Amino acid sequence: MTVDPDTWLYVAIQKNVPADKIVGQVDETHNISYIPAFLTKDAAQQAMFHLRLEKQKKYEIQAIICDDLIRHATEGGFVIFVLDEDGKVLEQLPQVS
């Protein structure tokens, strides 16, 4: 599977900070900071229950163009894991050579 740069991906956004913030996660076993992204809004909403989110914060699912998300992720030291609703990694972005 290859996600095109102009594909819309769905991510969790933390709403109650001075500016909206894309939610990142850490895989402590592999020491990887990543942004969980999904191909559909439904998959993202189902997966919200599996993400480690701060209590008392507000979150919503928003769409972002893949190319823009890759730029934000790499600037912040993250990779992107495109996941299904069960948390299975479908693809890692940017592609590792």
**Integer Cα distance of 78 and 82 in angstroms:** 13
Of the listed ranges 13-17, 45-49, 79-83, the one predicted with least confidence = 13-17
Residue 97 has pLDDT above 50, yes or no: no
- Evaluated on CA atoms 84, 40, 45, 68, the torsion sign reads positive
Residue 88 pLDDT grade (very low, low, confident, very high; cuts 50, 70, 90): very high
Question: Percent of the chain, pLDDT > 70?
Answer: 96
Nearest CA among 23, 27, 40, 20 for reference residue 84: 40
Summarised one tens digit per residue, pLDDT across range 3-26 is 999 999 999 999 976 889 999 999
